[in-house]
Amino acid sequence: MTTTESTISEQPPEKKKRDKTHWLYMAVIVAVIAGIFVGWLAPDLGKSLGQLGTLFINLIKMMISPVIFCTIVLGIGSVKAAAKVGKVGGLALAYFVSMSTVALAIGLVVGNLVKPGTGLDLSQHIGAGAEYAEKAHGAGGAWDFIQGIIPTSLLSSLTAGSVLQTLFVALLVGFGLQAMGKQGEPILRGIGAVQKLVFRILSMILWLAPIGAFGAIAAVVGATGLDAVTQLATLMLAFYLTCVIFVFGVLGGLLRAVTGLNVFKLARYLGREYLLIVATSSSESALPRLMAKMEHAGVQRTTVGVVVPTGYSFNLDGTAIYLTMASLFIADAMGKPLHFGEQLSLLAFMIIASKGAAGVSGAGLATLAGGLQSHRPELLDGVGLIVGIDRFMSEARAVTNFSGNAIATLLIGKWTDTIDTAKVRTVLDGNLPFDEQTMIDDDHPTAEPAEAAVPVATR
């Protein structure tokens, strides 16, 4: 026995499987730098590479509906009390409206203090606003937006690319399986298997991120040149600083007060997602990973499945800040500043308009143009100046929107008692790493109250 124990003790410990995905994100950084140089030194070539970025974003968008559907159905189908989901959704919507209003107000305050548009000549950029205003009106009003939530068929919600349609159908299916009880368990197991397949495909697609990032960055630098960044540096710097203050000051302070968690540790935990967003200028590229990481961190699947997808359409904090600051910038630059009453009226309009912005092509510019046309039509032509740097500002918008939804998930989880705070601390401290290969937490399932849980075999 002693000899056996000695032999066992002398055996080297099993090597931990190395995470190869860190090479992927190093490649993304290299690709971004290379894209900048290609776009700068060979603008025509850079502009022609833009399709690479578009193709990568389309691949990511292809996976969003399946990820949302599986996550929500599994989350709701595994909870017996429907009221629990309703409570999460109600709190989430109330929080989204409140925080978007705060973001809009902060944008107005900073815009009035900095006045970045004062002294600029917009005569060379006249005429571009009407196109974006037409897009905004073409998107329809509030009633058309509500009608657009209902798909033409059950399966079309998974193919139309609408997050809200997918969310709507997933809620119906989840509650339907919930009502079926034990009869629905085989279906839940099947959807659980599909979820594993979906995340495996997603992990394969992410290896194309360097190619997509290279094409996207090369195209924007090739089209605008480096002068576009320096020309409007004041506006961009003010916007970036405002986003930083909002995320780490306002949202970070709220997160600390409610949950006791550190926003800087959360940012480190989501570092790879931030890099992916900056490289692609799209927060949608990180949506599936945010859902997987929030569940891994200790937030129940039901809460993640409801809050994150809804937040991507209703909790656009970065877009809200951008809309108000850009409006003030255009008004000041054209020598026709908005008086206080007009600013408040514009704020009220943007609170409503920004909620549907995620469903409009060129959402930020379209909503901005629609707001200016409804309040001060003579300012509409100033949107043409914003077009030149909109791509650079969209990165800050996307990162801020993403951060707001990550923090919202933790806050809603705390308010609804659907979060394991101790596990969140462990994860944020780096003691329970996220599985980059599968992106599914089989070894560390999120705990749920005993009265709400179903047999483990159904998950």
CATH architecture of 80-165+226-444: Orthogonal Bundle (1.10)
What backbone torsions phi and psi does residue 419 show, to the nearest 5 degrees?
Answer: -140, 140
Report the SS3 class of residue 299: strand
- Kind plus residue range of the DSSP H or E element containing 308: helix 301-314
Global pTM?
Answer: 0.65
DSSP for residue 248: I
Q: Are 110 and 238 in contact (CB under 8 A)?
A: yes
Q: Are 61 and 161 in contact (CB under 8 A)?
A: yes
Give the 3-state secondary structure of 3-63: HHHHHHHHCCCCCCCCCCHHHHHHHHHHHHHHHHHHHHHCHHHHHHCHHHHHHHHHHHHHH
Domain ranges, ordered by start, for the chain: 80-165+226-444
Q: Are 419 and 300 in contact (CB under 8 A)?
A: yes
How high is the mean pLDDT in each 10-residue block of the chain (459 residues)? 46 51 73 84 85 78 78 70 69 85 84 68 49 52 68 79 77 84 86 84 81 80 60 74 91 94 93 82 78 90 84 80 81 75 75 53 59 68 61 79 92 91 91 73 43 35
How many residues make up the chain in this entry? 459
What backbone torsions phi and psi does residue 281 show, to the nearest 5 degrees?
Answer: 55, 30
Q: How far apart are CA 46 and CA 217, in angstroms?
A: 8
Report the SS3 class of residue 282: coil
- pLDDT at position 8: 43
- pLDDT at position 70: 82
Paired residues of 299 in beta bridges: 419
Q: How far apart are CA 382 and CA 386, in angstroms?
A: 7
Q: How far apart are CA 277 and CA 308, in angstroms?
A: 16
Dihedral of alpha carbons 209, 215, 218, 223, sign: negative
Report the SS3 class of residue 188: helix
- pLDDT at position 123: 46
Which residues fall within 8 angstroms of residue 219, CB to CB, at 6 or more apart? 39, 46, 47, 48, 49, 50, 53
Tokens at residue 35, please? 């894209």
The HSE-up count of residue 254 (CA atoms within 13 Å, CB side) is: 20
Q: How far apart are CA 452 and CA 459, in angstroms?
A: 13
- pLDDT at position 29: 78
- DSSP class per residue in 126-181: TT-HHHHHHHHHHT--HHHHHHTTS-SSTTHHHHS--HHHHHHHHHHHHHHHHHHG
Paired residues of 419 in beta bridges: 299
Tokens at residue 425, please? 């601390």
Q: Are 221 and 40 in contact (CB under 8 A)?
A: yes
Q: How far apart are CA 39 and CA 47, in angstroms?
A: 7
Q: Are 166 and 65 in contact (CB under 8 A)?
A: yes
Q: What contacts 24+ positions apart, CB below 8 Å, involve 223-228? A: 223/39, 223/43, 223/46, 223/47, 223/50, 224/388, 224/389, 224/391, 225/40, 225/43, 226/40, 228/388, 228/389, 228/392
Distance from the Cα of residue 366 to its chain's centroid: 19
Q: How far apart are CA 319 and CA 243, in angstroms?
A: 10
